[in-house]
Amino acid sequence: VAGVLYPQQVDMVRKKKIRAFQEAMLAWYDKEGRKFPWREGGLTSFQFVLTEILLQRTKAETINKFYPIFFSCYQSWEEIIASGQEHLEEVLRPIGLFRQRASRLYKLALEMLKRKGIFPNDRVELEAIPFMGQYIANAVEVFLFNIPAPLLDVNMARVLERVFKARTLSDIRYDPYLQQLAQKIVDHPRLQEINWAILDHAALVCTIRLPKCAKCPVNSICNYWKSSNKR
Ligand code: SF4
């Protein structure tokens, strides 16, 4: 029937759009991506995971300044435990949410001590670690094991939903559509960079208010931009 797309065609169109999105995002990232010390490589698993926990719900620019202070206090899970939870609260105070973060980090440090600092390369086991959470488990897979997983937070969700389609469930972690879409998008040879590209784009271009659509590298395929131009 003219004008009607069959499921296979829908799938092809979607794949094409995902490819275009990946290419445009990575080309943009190569020119405009943010530089942070934790992106330079050579971090221990302790540093990777701690950095990702610090980055949750805090601007990367804030963590950039705080990063050397934190890692001059702690070099290992053992040092966190030896210094105590109150010390951790004091260290974390300048970046906010310090009580929740200290409690979570301290409990994670206790668990990691039992595990001799080794993260399991198995999703079920990884998720069984208390205080890990879906986002950090994904970060462990990406950075420690090179397994495709999206660093899907509200910022990445905003970009994907604007370009592709809105999720139906309010909790990102359980929305099957968004989870599958994000998974397909980051399944790319430049796994770390595609994740960083989308997060940087969310912070610099596709902002919550007043996104810079006219200068956006994916505006030609973005649903939000198309519908804004129709109004
Ligand atoms: S065109 Fe606008 S809404 Fe769409 S991804 Fe770019 S900045 Fe975001």
User: Contact 148/191 with Cβ under 8 angstroms?
Assistant: yes
pLDDT of residue 231: 57
Neighbours of 135 (CB within 10 A): 20
Which of 156, 158, 159 is the pocket-test mutation for ligand 1 (most atoms within 8 Å of CB)?
Answer: 159
Q: Is 217 in the pocket of ligand 1 (CB under 6 A)?
A: no
pLDDT of residue 14: 87
Compute and round to an integer the Cα radius of gyration of the chain: 19
Q: Is 225 in the pocket of ligand 1 (CB under 6 A)?
A: yes
Residue type, 23: E
Residue type, 176: P
Length of the chain: 231
Task: Give start and end residues of each alpha helix (H) in 33-132.
Answer: 45-55, 60-73, 77-83, 85-92, 98-114, 123-127
User: How many whole angstroms from 202 Cα to the centroid of ligand 1?
Assistant: 9
pLDDT along the chain (231 residues), means of 10: 65 90 98 96 92 90 94 96 96 88 92 95 90 90 96 96 95 94 97 97 97 97 90 57
Spatial distance between the Cα atoms of 185 and 211, rounded to a whole number of angstroms? 21
pLDDT of residue 170: 93
pLDDT of residue 4: 65
Neighbours of 146 (CB within 10 A): 10
Query: Which residue's alpha carbon is nearest to atom 2 within ligand 1?
Result: 213
Q: Is 160 in the pocket of ligand 1 (CB under 6 A)?
A: no
pLDDT of residue 5: 65
User: Contact 134/124 with Cβ under 8 angstroms?
Assistant: no
pLDDT of residue 100: 86
Q: Strand (E) positions, 98-174?
A: none
Which of 21, 199, 225, 228 is the pocket-test mutation for ligand 1 (most atoms within 8 Å of CB)?
Answer: 225
Structure tokens at 84: 């105590």
Q: Is 221 in the pocket of ligand 1 (CB under 6 A)?
A: no
User: How many whole angstroms from 137 Cα to the centroid of ligand 1?
Assistant: 28
Q: Is 219 in the pocket of ligand 1 (CB under 6 A)?
A: yes
pLDDT of residue 150: 97
Q: Is 204 in the pocket of ligand 1 (CB under 6 A)?
A: no
